[in-house]
Amino acid sequence: MTDITIIHKPLWQLFKIFVPAVALLWAAAAWLRRRAYQRSTPGEEPDWSIPPLPQAGAVSLLHRWDVRVKIITILSYSFMIAALRHPAPAVAAIIVSLLVVAVAKTPPAKVLLRLLAISGFLGMFLVVMPLSIPDRSGDTVLIFNGWSWLGFNLRGLQLAATIAAKAVAITLLMEPLIATAPLPVTLYGLARLGAPDLIGQMVLLSYRYLHVFRHEARRMSAGMQVRGFRKRSNLQTLRAVANFLGMLFVRSFERTERVFDAMRARGHRGRFPEPAPLHLRGTDLILMAAWLAVGVMLISYDRFGY
Amino acid sequence: MHESMEILEQPALSAPLFRCRGLGYQYPNGPQALDHIDLDIAAGDRLALVGQNGSGKTTLIKLLCGLLSPAAGQLLYNGRPLEGDHLERNRLKIGLLFQDPDDQLFGHTLIEDVAFGPRNQGLNAERAETVARQALMKVSLAEKAYQEPHHLSFGQKKRAALAGLLAMQPDVLLLDEPTANLDPNQEQVFLDLLQNFKGTLICISHDLIFLYELCDRAVVLDCGRIQHDYTVRHLVAQPSALRSHGLDFSFRLVVTADSDSAPSTSAPSCAPLAPNPAAQPDLVDLRQFSYRYPDGTLALDGIDLTMVEGERIAMVGENGAGKTTLLACLLGLRQGHGQFHFRGKPVTRGQRHGLWRQVGLVFQDCADQLFCPTVAEEVSFGLHQLGLPDAEIDRRLVQSLERVHLSGFEQRVPLHMSGGERKRLALACVLAMQPRLLILDEPTAGLDPQGEELLLSILKDLEGTLLIVSHDMFFVRELTCRTIVLHQGRILEDMPTHSFLQDRRLGNLNGLAYSFRQRGSDAIRLLQHEHEYLHEHHHVHGHPHAAADQDHPHAHGHVHRHRYFHSHPGQEQPHEHAPRRIHPQEMHDHGDDAEKP
């Protein structure tokens, strides 16, 4: 512990460091949210009589890529990113991911929304980890106002930043993975790779009915609000919330039974029809090899570049 | 008196498509849903399956499409038991339309959903897509083919669900409440689509005017048993028989939107409210009120609306006109822009959360506001939020349940109650809180005629300010004096209800045109005063005889239909037919009787 460098700072320095950083993050998140919603709101009603993702004349390399190879490549590459240990390769991974987003031509608004979804979690990481990581030899710790329990470890900050960068790099790839083929095709590809059929069907139906259940939950919540329900820290609130969740579960369960009946009535025998035939081409494999090579280079840079 | 008609009107079935003999079904740990059903349905039949909620209608159609297996008796389809391979083969020829289209639209996109059935029928992807496109075209949704179902309006979803069945080119269509929650325009669209269907059609509905337009034959179910099997014409012609099965909708025949008939005698008194000497402020006062959704869509624009205490107001408009958004603002669930005063006090961002104390809403789907394990807890929920003492809560509980005819239901589970009971329970929950403004959103949605009539009588007895949002022009006329017409987020008209009902222009603009209802109601009214009647009697008149080439009058006996015109002195009271009997020559179809001496 003797090798730890301790730097004493007055308390106001803490605010000087944190307040602008938090304000910047908050402003960025708010801007991202507004921008993402604005971008995701269509100005005009699209022409729904034609497929929004024209598989025949695909709009990008990733749209044309065989879905099975795409899944294997992006998931393998994501694991490689997760294995990075240093911030510089992690930042390089973000650059690669941004490149992929550009090539895939996925809507930036959707990508921003995904980043927004993880921003809270990452923000917490950036704040908590420097304050909670155990001090090691060689660490630099900032102590504010002489409060030794409030040690801000810079190694913790670097670690949190690395994790955040990796998370951003992987999250950026999710839109090119999921949005460059219709969900049923992606899930069909997953099934062809050996994932149980049932999982794919459950994901597909969950995606469809998530909106229905969300609307039901909203209406029920409004029904409680108009009778004066407000969340408080008391037993009454707990009972009301338990009743609400119970009723939501019952309604969801009943709907599940009705949906299953509707599927059986239209000839469903436990398997969805194949959404589209899959064709593996040589270029698909070349693209996979090239991409995975980038991943190997990043890992090499991470392991041997320092 | 009318029993003889059943003999006359039962269709002659040579080779029935469906044959039920002694059919029974009981849900696990539940009541006997169906008991000893004997029913033959011929190919091409258009059959209305009617009965009160819980009478076994849905169970019967689930048996008919093989989703349930009979617990007793036999069900034959095309002469063979509907089970095993025969069921698997024929299930694809029997289409079932569910009441809630969200149950049926499980596909990622509309075209994928519609193609689901054809793919299961063995069509390849391209052929299935072509068939699906054609079906979507039939229901005028071809332009939405690649849209996700949750982005469609309710009416569009309902049509998409029907397209999913039509794409399979079924021989039989089973429909469960096809027009529930549709506005009149969409009802008309649906009626046209179903009238063009050439196969066998079996339709469950509480809407007898719709059934009158669509079906020929009516089967009345009561407590899991078939009570009557006759033509729809005869069903609707007999108010007493309808009443005995809780289906009497005759009270609705008084009026339709375009009716030129005299105002209903039971409509509320619409005398101008007495001016308040104390200059009491308006209950609600909105000035240049607007609301914009977070995505920028302008839902309400420049709303100027005043409500005085004691007024009974209807709000009408097409789907998407902004009615629900305006209700949400009145309830404080949404914060709009502009002036909003409640009882003279401005409703600010902070104060809107307290509006629930003075404004009560009964939701269109009462399941959205019932979540407690017992009726007593359900009614008490809001009262506890008001912070009332236990004694007062108990008093209001008893009082409100009594007002909605649910006394004694305190320990019942709301989830297990019928649709009508749940609607009245939702009303009791709101009434117990004694709101100054009571709002009802589509109060008749999903109710059977008996439930509607009971609700109507309860609402008529209520005092206080009432705002009804409804497509149901009968309820609007019976309960309100003033009608606000909302169109594309603006108040288009604010006028007396009787003037609105006579304004054909507004009806058409707001999707409230009632052409088939007008036609159906008029025809049913006539039928109810024109009993057709079968009996054997003697005539003296001439007709050709095959045995002898001459025509001469003589007395002979045969059975045929007579038509009587008369006025009813009152429900269930005796009346005389004979003196005004009309005996038109064209109704004397002697047929085989020609040989009789």
User: pLDDT tens for residues A7-30?
Assistant: 888 888 878 777 887 788 788 778
A58-67, A226-235, B20-29, B379-388: range with lowest mean pLDDT: A58-67
Q: Which residue has the higher pLDDT, B131 or B259?
A: B131
Q: Is residue A210 part of a domain?
A: yes
Report if residue B480 sits inside a domain: yes
Gyration radius from chain B CA atoms: 27
pTM score, whole prediction? 0.76
**Per-residue pLDDT reduced to its tens digit, A108-162:** 888 888 888 888 888 888 888 988 888 888 888 888 888 888 888 999 999 999 9
Q: Hey, what are B355's tokens? A: 């509006």
- A244 at interface of B, judged by CB pairs closer than 8 A: yes
How far is residue A125's CA from residue B441's CA, in Å, rounded to a whole number?
Answer: 47
Q: Which of A222, A228, A259 sits opposite B103 (nearest CB)?
A: A259
Asked if A227 lies within 8 A of B433 by C-beta distance, the reply is yes
Answer yes or no: do B481 and B533 share one domain: no
Backbone angles phi, psi at B104, to 5 degrees: -105, -25
CA atoms within 13 Å, Cβ hemisphere of A140: 6
Q: What is the average pLDDT across B303-309?
A: 93
B417 and B303 fall within a common domain: yes
User: Domain range holding A119?
Assistant: 1-42+53-63+88-180
Q: Which residues in chain A are contacts of B103 at CB distance < 8 A? A: 255, 258-259, 261-262
- CB of A232 within 8 Å of any CB in chain B? no
Q: What is the mean pLDDT of chain A?
A: 86
A244 pLDDT higher than 90 = yes
Longest dimension (CA), chain B: 97
Mean pLDDT highest for which of A54-68, B351-365, B566-580?
B351-365
B108 occurs within a structural domain: no
How far is A98 from A168, CA to CA, in rounded Å? 10
Share of chain B above pLDDT 90, in %: 42
Domain count, chain A: 2
Q: Is residue B111 pLDDT above 80, yes or no?
A: yes
Say if CB A139 and CB A6 are below 8 A apart.
Answer: no
Residue B364 has what pLDDT?
A: 86
Flag whether A80 is in a domain.
Answer: no
Which residues in chain B touch residue A42, judged by CB atoms under 8 angstroms apart? none
Mean pLDDT of B117-122: 91
Same domain, A170 and A208: no
Question: Could you tell me if A270 and A206 lie in one domain?
Answer: yes
CB contact under 8 Å between A265 and B102, yes or no, is no
The answer to whether residues A145 and A163 belong to one domain is yes
Same-domain check for residues A153 and A188: no
> Looking at residues A242-246, what average pLDDT do you find?
93
Please indicate, yes or no, if residue A287 is contained in any of the structural domains. Answer: no
Residues B353 and B206 in one domain: no
**A-B contacts (CB, under 8 Å):** 155
* A118 assigned to some structural domain: yes
Same domain, A143 and A208: no
Interchain CB contact of A28 with B (< 8 Å): no
Of A162, A180, A198, the residue at which a domain comes to its end is A180
Q: Is A44 in CB contact (< 8 Å) with chain B?
A: no
In which domain, by residue range, is B504 found?
284-520
A280 interfacial to chain B (CB closer than 8 Å): no
Q: What is the pLDDT of residue A21?
A: 76
Angstrom distance (rounded) from CA B139 to CA A186: 30
pLDDT at residue B582 in the model: 47
Per-residue pLDDT at B261: 45
Looking at the structure, tell me whether residues A160 and A228 fall in a common domain.
no
- Indicate whether A196 and A234 sit together in one domain: yes
Q: How confident is the model at residue B589 (pLDDT cuts 50, 70, 90)?
A: very low
ipTM tops the 0.90 cut: no
Q: Which residue of A has its CA nearest to B369?
A: A223
Place B324 in a pLDDT band, splitting at 50, 70 and 90: confident
Residues B244 and B358 in one domain: no
Q: Do A184 and B112 touch (CB under 8 A)?
A: yes
Residue B318: strand, helix, or coil: coil
Q: Is the pLDDT of residue B577 over 90?
A: no
Partner-chain contact A211 B150, CB within 8 Å: yes
pLDDT category at B597 given cuts 50, 70, 90 is: very low
C-alpha A51/C-alpha A69 separation (Å) is 23
Given a cut of 80, is residue A77 above it in pLDDT?
yes
- On whether any CB of chain B is under 8 Å from the CB of A271, the answer is no
Confidence of residue B402 (pLDDT cuts 50, 70, 90): very high
Q: Between B104, B365, B382, which is nearest A227 by CB?
A: B382
Q: Which of A155, A158, A161, A146 is nearest to A7 (CA)?
A: A146
Chain A partners within 8 Å of B415 (Cβ): 247, 250
Query: Given A132, A162, A180, which residue is the final one in a domain?
Result: A180
Residue B463 pLDDT grade (very low, low, confident, very high; cuts 50, 70, 90): confident
All residues of chain A having their beta carbon less than 8 Å from the beta carbon of residue B147 are: 48
Based on the domain organization, do B482 and B413 belong to the same domain? Answer: yes
Q: Is A83 within the bounds of a domain?
A: no
Q: Which residue type occupies B147?
A: Q
B106–A259 CB contact, under 8 Å = yes
Residue A275 in contact with partner chain B when CB distance is under 8 A:
yes
Give how far B474 is from chain A: nearest CA, Å: 27
Angle, alpha carbons B266-B267-B273 (nearest 5°): 130
Q: Are residues A19 and A128 in the same domain?
A: yes
Residues 51-110 of A with CB under 8 A from B: 51-52
Across the interface, of A48, A205, A227, the residue whose CB is closest to B146 is A48
Whether residues A229 and A145 share a domain: the answer is: no
* Chain A residues inside the 8 Å CB shell of B145: 48-50
Query: Does one domain contain both A34 and A103?
Result: yes
If asked whether residues B556 and B417 sit together in one domain, one would say: no
B494 and B559 both lie in a single domain: no
A127, A191: one domain: no
Q: Are residues A209 and A266 in the same domain?
A: yes
Q: Which of B62, B106, B369 sits opposite A205 (nearest CB)?
A: B106
Q: Of B490, B520, B550, which one is at a domain's C-terminal end? A: B520
Residues B437-459 have a mean pLDDT of: 87
pLDDT recorded at residue B55: 87
- How far is C-alpha B169 from the geometric centre of its chain's CA atoms? 27
Q: Of B492, B520, B548, which marks where a domain is finished?
A: B520
Nearest CA in chain A to B142: A49
Of the candidates A50, A244, A273, which has its C-beta nearest B116's C-beta?
A273
Distance CA B112, CA A53 (A): 14
By three-state DSSP, how is residue B523 classified?
Answer: helix
* Least CB–CB distance from B295: residue in A37, A243, A255: A37
- Per-residue pLDDT, B579: 40
Q: How confident is the model at residue B396 (pLDDT cuts 50, 70, 90)?
A: very high
| Cβ contact, residue pair A266, B116, below 8 Å | yes
Q: Do B62 and A225 make contact, defined as CB atoms within 8 angstroms?
A: no
Calculate the average pLDDT of chain B: 81
| B381 → closest Cβ in A208, A227, A258 | A227
Over residues B311-315, the mean pLDDT reads 94
CA-derived radius of gyration, chain A = 24
pLDDT confidence of B411, banded at 50, 70, 90?
very high
A228 touches chain B (CB under 8 A): yes
> What are the pLDDT digits (tens) for B71-88?
999 999 998 999 888 998
Are B174 and B61 in contact, with CB atoms under 8 Å apart?
yes
* Nearest-neighbour CA in chain A from B107: distance (Å): 7
> In this structure, is residue A218 part of a structural domain?
yes
pLDDT over 90 at B365, yes or no: no
Co-location of B216 and B333 in the same domain: no
Kindly tell me if the per-residue pLDDT of A47 is higher than 80.
no
In a domain, B270, yes or no: no
Q: What is the DSSP code (8-state) at residue B255?
A: -
pLDDT value of position B67 = 92
Q: Which residue has the tokens 């589509």?
A: B442
Question: What's the total number of domains in chain B?
Answer: 3
Cα–Cα distance, A212 to B14 (Å, whole number): 46
Residue-wise pLDDT for B24-40, tens only, equals 999 887 778 999 999 99
Inter-chain touch A49–B142, beta carbons under 8 Å: yes
Instruction: Give the model's pLDDT for residue B551.
Output: 56
Query: Sorting pLDDT into bands at 50, 70 and 90, what band is B2?
Result: very low
Which residues from chain B sit within 8 angstroms of residue A216, using beta carbons? 368
Q: Which of B105, B120, B149 sits opposite A267 (nearest CB)?
A: B120
User: Between residues B591 and B38, which one has the greater pLDDT?
Assistant: B38
Q: Report the C-alpha gap between A152 and A13 in whole angstroms.
A: 12
Residue B565 parent element (H or E): strand B551-565
Whether A251 and B386 lie within 8 Å, measured CB to CB: no
Contact yes or no for A174/A106 (Cβ under 8 A): no
Q: B16: domain CATH number?
A: 3.40.50.300
Question: Distance between CA atoms of A112 and B524, rounded to whole angstroms?
Answer: 60
Judged against a pLDDT cut of 50, whether residue B270 lies above it is answered with: yes
